């Protein structure tokens, strides 16, 4: 009986190993990527590899280090990773917003050159699917949006050799986001009781989507890959509802219970080529069974409560 049991366990182990979904995730140490990692790692059938660099801060993924494989692209060429592994899916979440140094060359390296390398080696090594995280922003807004749209042109050109799925992501937010992001800046300003915040008139409308809903959209796309038949597919990801920046900031102030900070709407001019009404069509994602669950009020409350408890 023990001998038969051992044979069964060995067979089961081989079956599970052979049916693992091998996924390469970029940007795992960032806000978006670390949350996507949390969502993917909960599925025992996923075998995850994550790209890092020498300067990567592993704090966000420290609880998962024993469950994932790290590959440092500063120490070894990316082509070696693909030569030694047969990936089923690449999930590309890494990005540079170009806020800190303002150097367009660094932004292009991060948002165009690096993902193009990954895309190329994924393609020639028979990876099945490449999921790209794009922005809904117009390419004329800044170097970040321009570089993302440049990569998108290249991305589409590879769709004849690899299934390409593009996710145009609206303004996502949530607990522990980067400090230089708009939502984090607003919430932190209220908790620091800043005397005032200078803002544009705030009439531009945005679709704010909570990070948990974003992660669930990624999971849904991966789970429903057999329902996505086109070689190139574009999904717009948001809630499908917009609010003005003025409404968003005022709601965050109220939930933060801040009565001191003055909101100086109109102190700043709109950016050149500012989009005044950013609205997405989420019907394609809904057709896969996904829908947003967290309202703006609920998401802001979760974000602010987390900030409140440290």
Q: Which CATH superfamily is domain 2-169 in?
A: NAD(P)-binding Rossmann-like Domain (3.40.50.720)
pTM summary value: 0.91
In the three-class reduction of DSSP (H, G, I as helix; E, B as strand; rest coil), residue 38 is classed as helix
- Tell me the domain boundaries of the chain: 2-169
Look-up of token digits 């989420």: 282
Which residue, 296, 91, 29, is CA-closest to 173? 296
Q: How far apart are CA 285 and CA 217, in angstroms?
A: 7
Cβ–Cβ < 8 Å for 150, 113: no
Sequential pLDDT tens for the chain (310 residues)? 444 445 444 444 444 455 678 999 999 999 999 999 999 998 767 899 999 999 999 999 999 999 999 999 999 999 999 999 999 999 999 998 876 667 889 999 999 999 999 999 999 999 999 999 999 888 888 899 999 999 999 999 999 999 999 999 999 999 999 998 999 999 999 999 999 999 999 999 999 999 999 999 999 999 999 999 999 999 999 999 999 999 999 999 999 999 999 999 999 999 888 889 988 999 999 999 999 999 999 999 999 998 866 5
């Amino acid at each position: 009986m023990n001998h038969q049991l051992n044979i069964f366990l060995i067979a089961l182990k081989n079956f599970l190993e052979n049916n693992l979904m091998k996924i390469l995730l970029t940007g795992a140490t960032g806000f978006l990527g670390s949350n996507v990692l949390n969502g993917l790692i909960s599925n025992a059938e996923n075998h995850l590899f994550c790209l890092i660099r020498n300067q990567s801060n592993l704090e966000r993924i420290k609880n998962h280090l024993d469950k994932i494989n790290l590959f440092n692209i500063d120490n070894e060429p990316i082509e070696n990773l693909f030569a030694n592994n047969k990936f089923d899916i690449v999930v590309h979440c890494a990005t540079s917003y170009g806020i800190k140094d303002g150097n367009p060359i660094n932004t292009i390296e991060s948002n165009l050159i690096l993902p193009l390398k990954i895309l190329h080696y994924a393609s020639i090594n028979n990876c099945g699917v490449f999921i790209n995280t794009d922005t809904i922003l117009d390419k004329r807004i800044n170097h970040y949006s321009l570089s993302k749209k440049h990569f998108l042109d290249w991305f589409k050109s590879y769709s004849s050799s690899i299934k390409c799925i593009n996710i145009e992501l609206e303004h996502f937010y949530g607990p522990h986001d980067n400090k230089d992001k708009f939502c984090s800046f607003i919430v932190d300003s209220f908790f620091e009781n800043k005397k005032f915040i200078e803002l544009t008139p705030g009439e531009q409308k945005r679709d704010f989507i909570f990070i948990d809903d974003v992660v669930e959209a990624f999971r849904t796309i991966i789970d429903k890959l057999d329902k996505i038949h086109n070689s190139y597919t574009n999904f717009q990801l948001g809630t499908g509802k917009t609010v003005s920046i003025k409404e968003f900031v005022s709601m965050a102030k109220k939930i933060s219970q801040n009565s001191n900070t003055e909101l100086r709407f109109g102190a700043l001019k709109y950016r050149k080529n500012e989009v005044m009404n950013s609205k997405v069509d989420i019907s394609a994602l809904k057709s896969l069974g996904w829908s947003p669950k967290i309202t703006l009020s609920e998401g802001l409350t979760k974000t602010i409560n987390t900030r409140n408890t440290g």
